[in-house]
Structure 1
């Protein structure tokens, strides 16, 4: 059987359900502005996240908070089957208030866990969303899942890009997030940071978890996602998000998110 990539958007819960089957794609280091809660059904993957390496096996659950720099590659020949739920930060905050009246944003102590009960709830929730169910059990499962995750594996959320004590790199991050639609060079970023290009790349990669060019690409893809959610045409998205053309947008979008921008756009139709 060939590969398949699917995404379903639950407009009531405001959750995205992804499902990849039979894929061999490797994902370079990147980060998201949302939470990712996923699990592997088949294959083994080497995950690189927050400076650590983990071998992810079938049944393992992946927990990624906004800003977690991560990437993965396949181990062995068996292709990947994977499901995940993407949760926006504002959706997570609202759900946590319902679960525990928690005011501190949720972070995760571990990025990879083995917990059959959590995997079962996640599979059930993913199935209901994917099948277009309108039953209230979707929300019950979501709240139960967050309660279990927060109780067993939660910690206070610490954004990786806060960079306390590293104001020069904070300035670089802020510059890229403000000027992502413009051409940006290492010379420009070096001047913003007051560092040589070599020291900029080395320091940025060490603290952020990816080099500046990859961070900029990630910012542009994340902005493209938000534009697509609003119904902006693909050609306009490419220009507005800082890509040279629609083909460039498609290549980067699929490289980081595993799906094309057109398919992502259609999930909100």
Structure 2
């Protein structure tokens, strides 16, 4: 698309998304990053990632973490996080994103929670790493749906011992006071929001609200609002909406603003993300 870059600013960074054509709720991602520093962002899915090379530094749930080779990162839906290289050589990694409803089905019906952001047990990391390679290859080559789904179940079985059942619906885990704030943000992604409006929704004074929100979500209200805007933009891009329309619907100034904000959080431009999803959805299926 004219005027929209297809890659990172740095030629040393690259990333790719892939979705299996038959299974909604699964997104695969792989990247090698040297120069890019990802801004705070979230995903509307569980995210599991294996570090193949180098070391990543990221902030998640209010703490800084270092993820070296052969560690597994576990993130819950809408966990805001950053990411950057800790070493001059950068880091490479692979991710599997699973929608919450899909993981509930695969894992036996209960919502999962991970108390630790990093899993280091080689008895888990090694097979999960191998399964991520096989899942990518299966999706890329258009393997039979049964073969892909069997790998997915095996992956979840390896992750299950490190999770605990949430016991209550995920929305009940957040402080009840901030539910109206999040609902207001989602309802008005395309409109400016003031501190006074958000504080009123929480029933707090403006500066008490700022302090309390950051303590609860480990992010400022503006960071959360941008993360929600980009999540909605990602959904609309995947659905095929024109990029200028996506920008307007999510409160971004224009298509260029969308491109910059999206790239800084997901590692690819909106145009490239759409192209990758279209390519993965049209690959011919191969039978063993």
TM-score, normalized by the shorter chain, greater than 0.5: yes
Alignment: residue pair count: 261
Residues 196-249 of structure 1, C-alpha deviations (whole Å, 9 max, x = no match): 332222111110111000100011111111112221111111111221111111
- Distance across 2 between alignment mates of 1:222 and 1:161: 21
- Distance across 1 between alignment mates of 2:261 and 2:19: 21
- Distance across 2 between alignment mates of 1:189 and 1:199: 11
Q: Hey, what does 2:230 align to over in structure 1?
A: 221
Residues 133-154 of structure 1, C-alpha deviations (whole Å, 9 max, x = no match): 346332211101101211x111
Q: Hey, what does 2:42 align to over in structure 1?
A: 31
More RCO (CA 8 Å, sep 6+): 2
SS at structure 1 position matched to 2:96:
strand
Tell me the C-alpha RMSD between the 2 structures: 2.1
Q: Hey, what does 1:99 align to over in structure 2?
A: none
Task: Name structure 2 gaps, 5 residues minimum.
Answer: 1-10, 279-288
Normalization by structure 1: what TM-score? 0.88
- Distance across 1 between alignment mates of 2:128 and 2:202: 43
Matched, 1:232 2:238: no
On the 8 A contact 1:190/1:197 being kept in 2, the answer is yes
How far the C-alpha of 1:125 sits from its partner, in A, is 1.8
Q: Hey, what does 2:76 align to over in structure 1?
A: 65
Task: Name structure 1 gaps, 5 residues minimum.
Answer: 97-101
Matched, 1:106 2:104: no
On the 8 A contact 1:67/1:161 being kept in 2, the answer is no
SS at structure 1 position matched to 2:150:
helix
Normalization by structure 2: what TM-score? 0.83
How far the C-alpha of 1:160 sits from its partner, in A, is 7.4
